Every structure is written in C-alpha cells, then in structure tokens.
Amino acid sequence: MDRGGCQMNGGGGGGGGGDGGPDRSGMISLEDLESFSEDQLSDSGNGSLEEGETMEEDEGSDRLLHYWQDVARGHQVEVSNEMAEPIQQLTSNNNGRSNREHIPFTLLSQKEKCGELLYDKRHYEKGHWACITMREDTYEQSICYGFMRIMRYICKQNSLGDYLGMSLPILTVVHTDENHSAISQEVTVAYYLPAEHQAQPPQPQDSEIVIEVWPAAIVYTRPFTGPTNELTIINQINGMAELLESPGVCVNDSFIVAGYTNPAHSHRHNEIWFLERH
C-alpha cells in the first residue's frame, strides 16, 4: 500500500475521534480504548465488578473485545479476535490522564474577538511519528482500521516488544477538493512517539506503518467539541478559513483533525489544524 505523504507540511496526520458514544455506534479510536473503564463495561450491559473483586485477564480481554466489536458494527468495521490482546494491553497500561503525554509546542500568538478565542498560532518542533495511510471504502472505515493498526504497534508489535505509552492528540490528516466541499477517502493516522522513544523509535512489525521525521511546522488551530465526521470536518475547515486573516499562507488541500478526548464524553475536545506553507 502506498503510504502517501505523511508530513506535517501538508501530508501525513493521524486519528482522532468518532461520531458515536454511549449509544455504541461511535468510531473506535486509540483514546477510546486507552481510557476504557470497567464502569463503561458495566454501562454496556456486560456486567460489573463488585468492590474488591478482580477480573480474570482472559475474561476481561473478551469483554473488551466483544464491546468494541459491537461498537464497530455501527460503521461496518470488523474487529478481529486478534485485537483482544492489544485492547487489553492499552487499557491495563493506562490508569488516568496523568499517563498521557502531550505533544510539546510553543504558543506564538492567539487571535481573540470579544473575549472569545478564535484560534492559536503554534510552533511544533520536528519529531518522529508512526503513521499509516488507509484507503478503505468509507472515511469511517479508513480511520477505524488505521487506529487499530497503530494500536497494535503501540501495544508490543514493535522491535522492543514492549508497550510504548500513549501520547495526545492522535492526529488524522484529511484531504479535500479545491472548494473544501468533500473529503478524500485517503486518510492518514499518526501517533507521536513519546519523549523516551524519540531518539531511537521502535520499528513497527507492520510493514505499512512508517516512522516519519516530520519537520518543524507552524500550525493554526481552533478548538471544537462534538463528533469528528465528514460533515463536521468540512464545516470546521470552512469556518476556520473564514477566521484567518491571511488564509493563503496555509496549505489549502490537507488539514489535520486532532483528537484529545474519549468520544464517550458529551463534550469532546478536538481541534482543526491548518498548516502554514513553507
């Protein structure tokens, strides 16, 4: 598979969010799985743990797998039984937001109007990213399958054979037509290597996951809440373009959606990113 241009200067990117939640019709993301809890399993109707009770690893793995198989059906995505171990690893290795490393950046300026933040201008240093480009039949399928491939890399399917740790946001790069009216099926999902792995990134076992060195970039970002689907992304792109004083300084056909929050939350934290041209 051609991996496409996985670069911060107009290609590349990575996951972030879905258009479902408690109704179990939402998209699977790394953030979903990483922050998954026994309370959510209980809410899904699969039972709960009494205080002091421990869940056997195999049983817990099966329950998580079955839950996400159910979730995925809403987007015509199949979650194979091989995902049971990575799902369990990602869940058990994270016990709260303190374990999630945020991608470092320098805030250059902010644009406000009547006390409302319109957008940030940030500088991101160059760094190593693991990315994969997907071209499934639908946009949702590309994101779901891309997330799962990256998740396997994070969860031991790498040259270290170890869990690599979680970083946020997970990025998804989308490509649009000239009028910003439609999104291409080609979607690139990317995961920022945590600081301890930046100098020597572990190599993926999956030959279609590529470790890229993304150059330093200036990014214009605007926060938004809610689902990240084709309609909302197009709306956010067009809304951001209207706010920028000089939209011509930015790449015009590739945009990044950054996802920070578990899509089960009622107010999901996302950002739309415009990349400044070099």
pLDDT attached to residue 75: 61
- Report all structural domains of the chain as residue ranges with CATH numbers, in order of start: 99-275 (3.20.80.10)
160-205 residue pLDDT tens: 999 998 888 989 999 999 889 999 888 999 999 999 999 999 999 9
- Give the pLDDT score at 203: 97
- Can you give the pLDDT at residue 42? 44
What per-residue confidence (pLDDT) applies to 57? Answer: 52
Cβ atoms of 189 and 172 within 8 Å: the answer is yes
Model confidence over 226-265: pLDDT tens digits?
777 788 899 999 999 999 988 889 999 999 999 886 544 4
Rounded CA gap, 95 and 34, in Å? 9
40 pLDDT tier (thresholds 50, 70, 90):
very low
Residue 95's identity, in one-letter code, is N
CA 123, chain centre distance (Å): 20
Q: 165 or 66, which is more confident?
A: 165
pLDDT of 170 reads: 86
Residue 4 in this model has a pLDDT that exceeds 80: no
Burial class (CB in 10 A: 0-12, 13-18, 19+), 227: middle
DSSP state of 126: -
Nearest-angstrom CA–CA distance, 260 and 269 = 6
Higher confidence at residue 96 or residue 201? Answer: 201
For helices 57-73 and 84-92, give the axis angle rounded to 10 degrees. Answer: 110
Mean per-residue pLDDT over the chain, rounded? 77
d(CA 203, CA 212): 11
Q: Looking at the predicted structure, is the pLDDT value of residue 45 above 60?
A: no
Give the confidence band of 99 by pLDDT, cuts at 50, 70, 90: low
**pLDDT above 80 (res 43):** no
Tell me, what DSSP letter sits at residue 62? H
pLDDT at residue 107 greater than cutoff 80: yes
What would the mean pLDDT of 19-34 be, rounded to a whole number? 44
pLDDT band at 126 (very low <50, low <70, confident <90, very high): very high
Question: Which residue has better confidence, 142 or 56?
Answer: 142
Nearest to 185 by CA among 219, 136, 149, 128: 136
| pLDDT band, residue 215 (cuts 50/70/90) | very high
The pLDDT of residue 219? 97
Pairwise CA distance, residues 209 & 131, whole Å: 6
**Three-state DSSP class for 205?**
coil
DSSP strands (E only) in the chain: 100-102, 106-113, 116-124, 127-134, 166-168, 170-175, 187-192, 210-214, 217-225, 254-259, 269-275
pLDDT at 218 over 80: yes
- Bridge partners of 225, per DSSP, are 269
Task: Please check whether residue 191 is in contact with residue 146, taking contact to mean a CB–CB distance below 8 angstroms.
Answer: no
Assess whether the previous peptide bond of 104 is cis (omega < 30° from 0).
Answer: no
Q: How many helices (H) and strands (E) does the chain have?
A: 6, 11
The whole-number pLDDT of residue 247 equals: 83
By the 10 Å C-beta count (0-12 exposed, 13-18 middle, 19+ buried), 11 is classed as: buried
Provide the percentage of residues in the chain whose pLDDT is more than 70: 69
**pLDDT at position 211:** 98
- Provide mean pLDDT across the span 222-227: 86
Q: Over 70: is that where the pLDDT of 114 sits?
A: yes
DSSP 8-state symbol, 179? T
